[in-house]
Amino acid sequence: MNRSIAMESRLDKLEQDNRRLKLALGLLLLVLTAIPLAGAVMPQQIPEMITAQGFYVIDENGTRRAGMNAAGIAYWDYNGAPRVMMHTDGIRYNDENGSVIWSTPPR
């Protein structure tokens, strides 16, 4: 009887060790999976300065809607026609055909 109790005790310890090993392996896999995912969702470092010759805003169709460069700022309508332009020589408002409907006096 003493032998069967010893065998049962050893079997219980072995099963407990097996459960701990499975738990440790599961946690390790979870950590190894979470590390790359955490890196993917971390915000990128914001640069102190952005250098460009121009910036453009495009809509979901790829149509240029607004732009800014050394010459000035411009806004385009849904059809891609320039509607408002602010340059060093003044401001112009165009209709849908591109004709000037208002502008500041020339300098």
Q: What is the pLDDT of residues 54-66, one digit of tens each?
A: 999 998 988 899 9
Tens digit of each residue's pLDDT (9 = 90 or more) over 85-95? 998 889 999 99
Q: Are residues 1 and 39 in the same domain?
A: yes
Tens digit of each residue's pLDDT (9 = 90 or more) over 32-77? 888 877 766 666 777 778 889 999 999 898 889 999 999 899 999 9
Q: Are residues 42 and 58 in the same domain?
A: no
Q: Are residues 58 and 98 in the same domain?
A: yes
- The C-alpha atoms of residue 83 and residue 81 are separated, in whole angstroms, by 6
Q: Are residues 62 and 37 in the same domain?
A: no
Q: Are residues 35 and 60 in the same domain?
A: no
Q: Are residues 2 and 38 in the same domain?
A: yes
pLDDT of 24: 93
Tokens of 50: 């952005």
Q: Are residues 97 and 60 in the same domain?
A: yes
Q: Are residues 33 and 65 in the same domain?
A: no
pLDDT of 37: 76
Q: Are residues 41 and 1 in the same domain?
A: yes
Q: Are residues 4 and 41 in the same domain?
A: yes
Q: Are residues 10 and 35 in the same domain?
A: yes
Q: Into how many domains does the chain fold?
A: 2
Mean pLDDT along residues 10-19: 91
Mean pLDDT along residues 15-23: 92
C-beta of residue 44 within 8 angstroms of C-beta of residue 56 = no
pLDDT of 31: 87
Contacts of 80 (CB under 8 A, 6+ apart): 63, 64
pLDDT of 1: 63
Q: 102 vs 44, which has greater pLDDT?
A: 102
> Which residues are bridge partners to 58 per DSSP?
64
**Degrees to nearest 5, angle at CA 35 with 34 and 36:** 95
Domain of 92 in residue numbering reads as 54-103
